[in-house]
Amino acid sequence: QQQVKQSPQSLIVQKGGISIINCAYENTAFDYFPWYQQFPGKGPALLIAIRPDVSEKKEGRFTISFNKSAKQFSLHIMDSQPGDSATYFCAATKNNQGGKLIFGQGTELSVKP
Amino acid sequence: EAGVTQFPSHSVIEKGQTVTLRCDPISGHDNLYWYRRVMGKEIKFLLHFVKESKQDESGMPNNRFLAERTGGTYSTLKVQPAELEDSGVYFCASSQDLRGSPLHFGNGTRLTVT
């Protein structure tokens, strides 16, 4: 049973466009929701994270939107650039479990010039 | 600050053989995690060390997998004997503490069992 469902599996966006990746979770005890970015041959790297006491968090061109009642959260990449092409993973955990993350299946983003 | 280092980066072995993966966490990080990603699926938690102690090994697939962290520094993950379904990318990650500090991942070891 997959506790965090991520969509789409792959995404192609034109340079300058908005990339949107969605995740849904089941466990209402989750209280920390990070997004990781992974380039080929590298490990995942923390991109941005949110806790459920806020509905939105923005860092530069990256924004997380969080809907607690719907148990959904999404990553928006504004003004997408070819350098953003990577695999993106959403994840969830309970704060007291720290690094024991439950990951989504990943989204391969390709930004075309 | 040196990152999390994993060795080897790739390993190709035959079914039934033994493979040992190594992870050197960031210096001073007491928490060390092993994760695995099987082709195209989600990254799955395997186990968590706090210093040399296994805190949580609920994600270990079966008793063919053995993880150790002697002295609380580097960790090894041994697969013996390897099966075809063990193929995937094995990631190690470390963090300073449980609450609030981010996970730092290594580049992974790609294991192929033929």
Residue B98 to residue A103, Cβ atoms within 8 A: no
Place of tokens 């809907």: A67
Mean predicted confidence (pLDDT) in A29-44: 95
- Give A43's contacts in chain B (Cβ within 8 Å): 4, 91, 93, 105-108
CB neighbourhood size of B51 (10 A): 13
Predicted local distance difference test score (pLDDT) of residue B70: 85
CB–CB of B43/B35 below 8 Å? yes
- Tokens for A81? 């650039």
Q: Which residues pair with A75 in a beta bridge?
A: A21, A64
pLDDT confidence tier of residue A2, bands split at 50, 70 and 90:
confident
CATH class of A1-42+58-90: mainly beta
Going from N- to C-terminal start, the domains of chain B cover 5-113
Residue A4 to residue B42, Cβ atoms within 8 A: yes
Predicted local distance difference test score (pLDDT) of residue B96: 87
Q: What is the pLDDT of residues B61-114, one digit of tens each?
A: 999 999 999 888 999 999 999 999 999 999 999 998 766 678 999 999 999 999
| Mean per-residue pLDDT over chain A, rounded | 94
Mean predicted confidence (pLDDT) in A48-61: 94
pLDDT at A34 over 90: yes
CATH 2.60.40.10 fits domain B5-113: yes
In sequence order, the 6+-apart residues with CB closer than 8 A to the CB of B67 are B34, B46, B47, B49, B54, B57, B60, B75, B76, B77, B78
Predicted local distance difference test score (pLDDT) of residue B100: 64
Considering only CB atoms, B33 lies closest to which of A45, A99, A106, namely A99
pLDDT at A92 over 70: yes
pLDDT at A46 over 90: yes
CB neighbourhood size of B63 (10 A): 7
Terminal CA-CA length for chain B = 37
Place of tokens 């993880």: B67
Predicted local distance difference test score (pLDDT) of residue A38: 97
- Give B95's contacts in chain A (Cβ within 8 Å): 98-99
Predicted local distance difference test score (pLDDT) of residue B55: 92
